[in-house]
Chains A and B, each alone.
Chain A
Amino acid sequence: MKTVVIQGLSQAYSNLVHMFAEFLPRLLVMLVIVAVGLVVAYALKTILRAVLHVTRLDRLSEEAGASRFLRMAALPSMTELLSRSLFWVTWSGFILIGISVLGVAGLQEQISRLFLLLPAIFVAILILFLGLVTANFLSRAALLAAVNAGYPSPKLLSWSIRFVIWALAISMALEQVGVARQTVIAAFSIVFGAFMFGLAIAFGLGGKDLARDFLERSLGEKKREKYEEPQPL
């Protein structure tokens, strides 16, 4: 009995030693990979930041109105945001490679999946960014045009345009990463449809006088009140 216990303990000890002997070099390799990744990510971040400073991305982002949204969300400038994103994406990639070297069963498959998802995430972020910039530019253009032409409720028009583009960009981004595709499409259709329906009701009820006025003018039964400014030049 005593011999069996000692044999069992010795077997367990030798297994443990064997496991550590196998695991420690892998851990060391992982740490080296993570450390190298940190250096590479930092170098890439510095290079990208310098390149973006030269290309004046911040000015472009300011012009397009994206910077204002970043400030509202307490985020750094566009250059800083992109270079930091590159740092974290690169370093995360190295960390994942390092973890895969450990050879922990079950983790391998998850890591491969994550790697497959990375390009889709990147494209989704790009779609969101472009959506943000486009929504901001077009909504501001609409606001200025409506204010200068003296249309009623210019902010409503501007926010409607912003909302529609955001909804479109968010649904496209979520579809890109494959998050509950069917749900996203259904949700988008419902939200967009409800929005349009709401607008139709609002214009129908609120704008019936306007529509009558428009029709009367179109049919020549009523003259529009003419507003003329003095010739500027």
Chain B
Amino acid sequence: MAEESFLADDFLRQLMSVGEVDLLVGIPSYNNASTIGQTLQTVEESLRQNFVRERVVILNMDGGSGDETRQLFERRSERREASHKGLTTLRTIHRISCEYDRSPSQGLALRDIVAAADLLRARACAVISPATTNLTPSWVANLLRPVYRESLDFVAPLYERSRFQGLLARDLLYPMSRAIFGNRIRELYSDEWGFSGRLASQCLEQDVWQEEAIRARPEAWMAIKAIGAGLKCGQYYLGPKTASAAASGPDIVEAIRQTVGNLFWCMETNQSTWNGRSNSQPVVTIGPDHELSSDGVPPSQEKTFDLFRSGVNELEPILASILAKDTHAQIKAIALTDRAKFHFAGELWVKTLYEFAASYHHAVLNRDHLVQALVPLYRGRLYSFLQEHANSSPDEMEGQSEMLCQEFERQKPYLLERWTAKRE
């Protein structure tokens, strides 16, 4: 078995003692001592309330926490076992904690989770982030149930967002991944998701776990694998999400390196999955398919525009090697316009992103550098978006977002043209 080469002996021994299971919940952690106890309690409650007869295991995969995350998980497990045994569930809930590496990596944590799922023949699995502070038992059940009872192979979450939250996901990741891979999964990059044992086995066979793009953000790759294999994907509306202050997420540069780098890498390694698709299809969606709340005020973005303008100026030779001449000229022209009249049009944004993706494919420069060169341009687009939608209603913003998605789909032939063109 492939997993024999990388699973630690002790972890393997604990898995063997569990035997086969129906459900598996993985909790990757790194310095989450303040929240791990609450997360474990919520997961257990969910399993007791919703899966009374199922055989279940909860795995805590730790990335070398310096605090007491693992110890707290283990201690709480013992206490829970003593207090709840035989009261509400017909089966023992097994809990295992393991250190997968000395440094945190979502990809390596997921590798061990899918290996465990394959070994224990789990039918449905869910990954839950201990950084989510408003996790409820229904979240866990909503990620597991569609896989376990409705035979879906991948379930993404859908979160309620305020108008100015998650703009990278709404303005780049969702519309671009939808146009490329043809499936309308809104949250390809999230900390919680569900998947089937079948998908876990297929992913385990892939030799990608040490790739930089997978080490940081493996979830989108998993969804794209499911799409490519013709497996059933869906999404479940979970409601608003709040994260602990200590885990407020990566900054804009790191977020773009991780997510856009991963998206380009997935395009590069799954060309046969997407180059024949011309439009997108809706996926099974439980609950509303989007939910923008009207709260939130646009943050002051004076510096965002300055960073865009200086970035276009300072990175001119790098951008010239990535973009087509006319696209580069248009970006330079808008960078010179007055701040109040500044507008980064959707059409230009889509063209820019497709040229970046094609240049990534042709490796015109180091790929991580190429992705980093996108940051100033994203800031320009962000500034334009915030100016344009300072007073827009959620419905208007949603309408604009849909138009952007259609623009991505309309320009896809241009991407293919750039992608297959021989380099000069």
Q: For B307, B366, B367, which residue has the most chain A Cβ atoms within 10 angstroms?
A: B366
Q: Is the CB of A232 within 8 A of B255?
A: yes
Cross-chain contact A140 with B369 (CB below 8 angstroms): yes
Interface residue A26 (Cβ < 8 Å from any Cβ of B): no
A232 touches B256 (CB 8 A): yes
B71 at the interface (CB under 8 A from A): no
CB-contact partner of A141 in B169, B304, B369, under 8 A: B369
B314 near A233: Cβ-Cβ < 8 Å: no
How far, in whole Å, are A68 and B366 apart by their CA atoms in the complex? Answer: 12
Q: How far is the CA of A227 from the CA of B305 in the complex (A)?
A: 12
Q: Say yes or no: A64-B366 contact (C-beta < 8 A), given A148-B375, A233-B259.
A: yes
Bound complex: CA A143 to CA B373 (Å): 10
Known: A59-B363, A65-B365, A233-B168. A147 touches B249 (CB 8 A): no
- A147 engages B255 (CB within 8 Å): no
B165 sits at the interface (CB 8 A): yes
Point out the residues of chain B lying under 8 angstroms from A148, CB to CB.
253, 307, 311, 372, 375-376
CA distance A230 to B253 in the complex (A): 12
> Does B14 make an interface contact (CB < 8 A)?
no
The CA of A62 and the CA of B167, in the complex, are separated in Å by 33
Interface flags, B352-373, vs A, CB<8A=1, else 0: 0000000000011111010011
Interface centre among A68, A141, A143, A147 (most CB of B within 10 A): A147
Pair B365/A63 contact, Cβ less than 8 Å: yes
* Total CB contacts across the A-B interface at under 8 A: 86
**Chain B residues positioned under 8 Å from A188 (CB to CB):** none
Q: Is B248 an interface residue (CB 8 A)?
A: yes
Q: Is the CB of A231 within 8 A of B307?
A: no
**Contacting pair A63 B367 (CB below 8 A):** yes
Closest to B299 in A: A230
Residues of A within 8 A of B386 (CB): 230
A144 within 8 A of B: yes
Q: Are A143 and B314 in contact (CB under 8 A)?
A: yes
- B residues within 8 A CB of A59? 363
CA distance A144 to B377 in the complex (A): 13
* B8 at the binding interface (Cβ < 8 Å): no
User: Is B310 close to A, CB under 8 A?
Assistant: yes
| Docked complex: B241-258 residues within 8 A CB-CB of A | 248-253, 255-256
A1–chain B nearest beta-carbon distance, Å: 81
- Would you give the 0/1 interface string for A32-66, flagging 1 where the beta carbon is closer than 8 Å to chain B? 00000000000000000000000000010011110
Check A150–B307 contact: CB distance below 8 A: yes
Is A137 at the interface (CB under 8 A from chain B)? yes
Answer whether A155 and B366 are a contact pair too, CB < 8 Å, given A232-B252, A232-B255.
no
The answer to whether A233 touches B189, judged by C-beta atoms less than 8 angstroms apart, is: yes
Considering only residues 322-378 of chain B, those with a C-beta below 8 Å from chain A are 363-367, 369, 372-373, 375-376
Cα–Cα, bound, A115→B416 (Å): 53
Give chain A residues whose Cβ lies under 8 Å from the Cβ of B299.
228-230
Decide yes or no whether B315 CB sits under 8 A from chain A: yes
Interface residues of A in 71-113 (CB under 8 A from B): none
Which of A63, A148, A150, A232 counts the most chain B CB atoms within 10 A? Answer: A232
Mostly, the B contact residues are helix
- For A144, list chain B residues within 8 Å (CB): 315, 318, 369, 372-373, 375
Provide the bound-state CA to CA distance between A141 and B304, in Å: 21
Q: How far is the CA of A63 from the CA of B359 in the complex (A)?
A: 11
Q: Is B400 an interface residue (CB 8 A)?
A: no
Query: B79 at interface (Cβ–Cβ under 8 A)?
Result: no
Could you tell me the distance between the alpha carbons of A233 and B367 in the complex, rounded to whole angstroms? 22
Cβ–Cβ < 8 Å partners of A145 in chain B: 372
- Bound: A149/B165 CA distance, A: 21
> B13 in the interface, Cβ–Cβ < 8 Å?
no
> How far apart are B391's CB and chain A's nearest CB, in angstroms?
16
Evaluate contact between B167 and A230: CB separation under 8 angstroms: yes
Within 8 A of A (CB), among B380-403: 382, 386
Q: Once bound together, how far apart are the Cα atoms of A148 and B303, in whole Å? A: 12
B307: nearest residue on chain A (CB-CB)?
Answer: A150
Interface centre among B249, B255, B321, B372 (most CB of A within 10 A): B372
A229 touches B373 (CB 8 A): no
CA–CA, A62 and B366, complex, Å? 8
CB B419 to nearest CB in A, in angstroms, measures: 16
A150 to chain B, nearest CB (A): 5
Task: Tell me the bound Cα distance from A155 to B376 in angstroms.
Answer: 15
Q: B249 touching A140 by the CB < 8 A rule? A: no
Residues of A within 8 A of B369 (CB): 140-141, 144
Does residue B230 face the partner (Cβ distance < 8 Å to A)? no
Instruction: For the complex formed, measure the closest distance between the CB of B1 and the CB atoms of chain A, giving whole angstroms.
Output: 34
Q: Are B248 and A231 in contact (CB under 8 A)?
A: yes
Task: Report A171-193 CB contacts with B as 1/0, cut-off 8 Å.
Answer: 00000000000000000000000
B166 at the interface (CB under 8 A from A): yes
Known: A147-B311, A150-B303, A227-B303. A233 touches B169 (CB 8 A): yes
Task: State in angstroms the CA–CA spacing of A147 and B250 once bound together.
Answer: 18
- Nearest CB of B to A188, in Å: 28
A-contact bits for B164-179, CB 8 A (1 contact / 0 none):
1111110000000000
Contact of A63 with B366 in the complex, beta carbons under 8 Å? yes
Whether A232 pairs with B168 at a CB distance below 8 angstroms is: yes
B169 and A232 contact, CB distance less than 8 A: yes
Please name the 9 residue pairs, one residue from A and one from B, whose CB atoms are nearest each other, closest first.
A232-B168, A232-B255, A144-B372, A148-B375, A148-B253, A147-B314, A63-B366, A147-B311, A229-B252
Task: Please list the residues of chain A having a beta carbon within 8 angstroms of any beta carbon in chain B.
Answer: 59, 62-65, 68, 137, 140-141, 143-145, 147-150, 154-155, 227-233
5 contacts between A and B (CB under 8 A): A140-B365, A141-B369, A143-B315, A147-B314, A229-B301
